[in-house]
Amino acid sequence: MQTIGILLPRSTYYQTIGFDLYEGLRSGLKHLGKSDIKIVTENIGFGADKQQCYRSAEKLLLEENVSVVIAYIGHRMAQLLRPLFLASNKILIVLDAGANLPGEWPVCPNIFYHSLHNSLGAALAAKKAASNGYTQAGMVTGYYDAGYLHTYSISKGFEETGGTISFNHATGYTTTEFTMEPLKNYLEQFPNSVLLSLFSGDFVQWYFEGIKNLFKEQNIPIYMPPFGFEEMMLSDAQFPSENIKGIAAWSKKLESKENKAFIETISNTGKTPNLFSLLSWESASIALKVIELIDECKNNVIQIAKDLHEFTFESPRGKIYFDSKTNTSIPLLYNASIITNHEGKCEVQIESVVNDVFEHFEKLSTQELNNSTSAWHNSYTCI
């Protein structure tokens, strides 16, 4: 019997993240007619403890003898695991939020990154704001989200399109420290500014509440990347402005038979489909391809990697393929806005497909980081 290993993180504000990732994979395999494949899980906490991650991966490889490992971790942790996967001649599929930008994109045939592309979405959201006529912006984020380099891509994206970042506001991460008050002063000084905003999880809800309370009916412009469009959190967030736009990675509203199957299958398990169950649902297709190639290529990892570069599949968010230079998956991204529902809460409205995603990604992956680094080692949203 084939076995797939998955390293599952935990999160205090996405409390179901481990279950979502597991269920996405399990249901994805079942949907592909492979429910006979055994899934073995290991807990990696917040994904920041090197020893815990290494030992969990080692256990899956050496004790459970899994065919392939899937892990919701960042680039840095993936690099720590690189020698283990090289030495054991196995493939690691990294489920990547895409919130960080690695200092380099070192290609290793044993590691493939399946991404939600939050940094790319952040850069595209900023470019969109600039192309919609905004020339000044404030970057608004929180203590936690500010630690990832999507901050760099959103600022760079805006500046490259001719805009100027006039102010930055990074708020605290507890309810008592979380405040949007400084924005009043900033927006008086720079009244035509757009707010390039980076929040995830509960912080999206707090942010929208703050905006609603301080800037009632002013409809101030806000642009956000994919994690700002995470529908599970938005369903409990107050609608703060008629002018919230950005880039979404996925929505329940996307119309395709693949998305319908995903939503129905996950919903039937009693769970709410979200970005995490989506990512691992998709990883089932990649893992099955890897298992097929292990046999076809007689375990030659270099050949398996070459064949994966040619692999494409239809996912709930559209066609996905891999960039051979970075081993990173390239999906469709969507221009989106936030609308209100009858309860005054938020919903995503998909407007169109973003053009030239690959070209934008290529630019992002080759851009200089100018010594910007991130000290956040944990998997994104896992605190």
Partner 1 sequence: MVLCGGKFAFPALQLLAYEKFICAIGIGKSNASIVDALERESEENNFGFKSFPDKKSIIEMRAWIETVQPDYIFCISFPFLLPENVLSYGKGKFINFHPGPLPQYRGPMPIFEVLKNQETQTAICAHFMNSKFDQGNIIFNDPVAIQKTDTYGKLSIKLSERLAHITLNTANMLQFASHIPNQIQDETLAYYYEKPELADTYINWKHMTADEIISLINACNPWNNGADTTLQEKRIKIISARLLNKPHNNQTGTIVSITDTLNIACKDNEQIAVEILSTDAGIMTASQFEEQILTNFP
Nearer to partner 1, 108 or 297 (CB): 108
Tokens of 11: 């999160």
DSSP 3-state of 25: helix
Give the integer Cα–Cα distance in Å for 124 and 112.
23
Is residue 43 a contact residue for partner 1 (CB under 8 A)? no
Is residue 168 a contact residue for partner 1 (CB under 8 A)? no
Is residue 216 a contact residue for partner 1 (CB under 8 A)? no
Shortest Cβ distance from residue 82 to partner 1 (Å)?
6
Nearer to partner 1, 302 or 353 (CB): 302
* Strand arrangement, sheet containing 38-43: 38-43, 3-8, 68-72, 91-96, 111-115, 328-330, 318-323, 312-315
Bridge partners, residue 319, by sequence = 314
* Residue pointed to by tokens 């994104």: 380
Bridge partners, residue 348, by sequence = 338
Give the integer Cα–Cα distance in Å for 137 and 147.
19
Is residue 306 a contact residue for partner 1 (CB under 8 A)? no
Nearer to partner 1, 199 or 376 (CB): 376
Tokens of 236: 């409990």
Single residue of 2, 39, 58, 369 touching partner 1 by CB under 8 A: 58
Look up residue 177 and give its amino acid: E
Is residue 34 a contact residue for partner 1 (CB under 8 A)? no
Tokens of 184: 């009043």
Are the beta carbons of 81 and 58 closer than 8 angstroms?
no
Is residue 214 a contact residue for partner 1 (CB under 8 A)? no
Shortest Cβ distance from residue 86 to partner 1 (Å)?
3
Shortest Cβ distance from residue 107 to partner 1 (Å)?
7
Is residue 173 a contact residue for partner 1 (CB under 8 A)? no
Single residue of 12, 15, 43, 55 touching partner 1 by CB under 8 A: 55
Is residue 2 a contact residue for partner 1 (CB under 8 A)? no
Is residue 370 a contact residue for partner 1 (CB under 8 A)? no
